[in-house]
Amino acid sequence: MPHVPDALAPLACPAAPCSDTPCARPAEAFVPSPALPPPPSAVGPLGWLRANLFDGWFNSLLTLLCMAFLAAVVPPLVSWALLDACFTGDASMCAQSSGACWTFIVHKFRVLMVGTYPPAEAWRPALAGVLLATMVGCTAWRRLRAAALAVLWLLLPLAALWLVGGGAGLAPVDQSQWGGLMLSVGLALVGILVSIPCGVLLALGRRSRIAAVRALCVGIIEPVRGVPLITILFMASVMFPLFLPPDMQINNLLRVQIGMILFSSAYMAEVVRGGLAAVPKGQTDAAKALGLGYWKMQAFVVLPQALRHVLPSLVGRCIALLKDTSLVIIVGLLDFLGMAKAASQDQQWLGHDAEAYIFCALVYWLLCFGMSRWGRSIERRTAHRAR
């Protein structure tokens, strides 16, 4: 329905379209017509329901099917997980109830977190965890300058290693006793912190003007990307020692960590390469024209823009790395997931696999979701700096 604003009515404009007859309307006569409220069916909860759930017969059918499915699944789940669940007591109480046995998780909490780490020393990994959380907080709420943050993030793994591993005043705890969430997070953290710089270097090397550097980087990236992570972990765990001289002992955990860093760096390099390609040539021209050398140009001009371009994929790689740490179980390390499996096989607490795995899934999800949100917030914060 064409709506003719009142302000136009008294004008000498012909009814025919103004395009062919020049419209002699004085400029000051134009008063914009007020915006009318939309029809009631388009707003409010009813409007929302119609627009999103019952928009046509097919979508209505889908909505009804989904609701039926939820009605069948959610109530039993809620009564199992919450209403009928045990939160305190012991194994015998759990055996009587029909719901979930969260007591099991409470009971096994320490093992899930730090594995077979000596209980008397468990405060040390806990302290390392607090340090990590503090760093995450400082970074997320930007309490410190970027340079200070970078240094602290690089010091953090060293501090954590000292706390967990002992030495220099603390009783040493052998690596074979490390496990649980501590091991997963540690592997992921060191993996991320080392593989991002390595990936950046590999990506830069792949675009280098020196043919030998280029060949070397391609020679690292492509073979590593061509095999599954499990293969690399097996190689690191089983084949590495065969090549090394017998008196040179590198422990299993370190070998696995190196394998993961290698794998992750190759993928990071490909992600970063995409970002480097997205930085316009004019940027490097301008940086060179100002007299900046290669490394300063990369550090101040190219990489900040390139990394911002690929931030979502970079965060995606970090999340993938955290989840991939659960593969270390195949070379005999008991990470978070491995500990959950081991704990659910305890003779005293049989039949609680579901609780263990749900708890695992929840913790993994929290960590991954947190990283993903963090990445999104950096993206939003720097949006105005993009061209």
Partner 1 sequence: MPTAASDTAQAAASAQAAASAQTTSSAQTTSSGQTTPSAQAGDIVIDICGVNKWYGAFHVLKDVNLQVCRAERIVICGPSGSGKSTLIRCINRLERHQSGRIVVDGVELTSSLKGIEKVRREVGMVFQDFNLFPHMTVLQNLTLAPVWVRKMPRRQAEETALHFLERVRIREQADKYPGQLSGGQQQRVAIARALCMNPAILLFDEPTSALDPEMIKEVLDVMIELAEENITMVCVTHEMGFARTVADRVIFMDGGEIVEQNTPEAFFSNPRFDRTRQFLGQILKH
Give the Å distances, CA to CA, from 66 to 50, 51, 53, 75, 282. 16, 17, 11, 14, 52
Residues 15, 16, 22, 27, CA torsion sign = positive
In the bound complex, what is the minimum distance in angstroms from residue 292's beta carbon to partner 1? 6
Q: Which is nearer to partner 1, 8 or 286 (CB)?
A: 286
Q: What is the DSSP letter of 27?
A: G
Taking the C-alpha atoms of residue 161 and residue 177, their distance in angstroms, rounded to an integer, is 14
Q: Which is nearer to partner 1, 279 or 329 (CB)?
A: 279
Instruction: State both tokens at 236.
Output: 């690191």
Binding site residues, partner 1, CB under 8 A: 280, 282-283, 285-293, 296, 300-301, 304-305, 308, 382, 384-387
In the bound complex, what is the minimum distance in angstroms from residue 283's beta carbon to partner 1? 6
Give the Å distances, CA to CA, from 230 to 128, 239, 345. 28, 13, 25
Which residues lie below 8 Å from residue 8, measured CB to CB, with a gap of 6+? Answer: none
Q: Which is nearer to partner 1, 143 or 381 (CB)?
A: 381
Q: Which is nearer to partner 1, 305 or 313 (CB)?
A: 305
Q: Which is nearer to partner 1, 3 or 380 (CB)?
A: 380
Q: Which is nearer to partner 1, 168 or 383 (CB)?
A: 383
Taking the C-alpha atoms of residue 54 and residue 46, their distance in angstroms, rounded to an integer, is 10
In the bound complex, what is the minimum distance in angstroms from residue 280's beta carbon to partner 1? 8
In the bound complex, what is the minimum distance in angstroms from residue 242's beta carbon to partner 1? 44
Taking the C-alpha atoms of residue 280 and residue 294, their distance in angstroms, rounded to an integer, is 16
Taking the C-alpha atoms of residue 343 and residue 112, their distance in angstroms, rounded to an integer, is 8
Instruction: State both tokens at 30.
Output: 């134009």
In the bound complex, what is the minimum distance in angstroms from residue 291's beta carbon to partner 1? 4
Length of the chain: 387
In the bound complex, what is the minimum distance in angstroms from residue 323's beta carbon to partner 1? 31
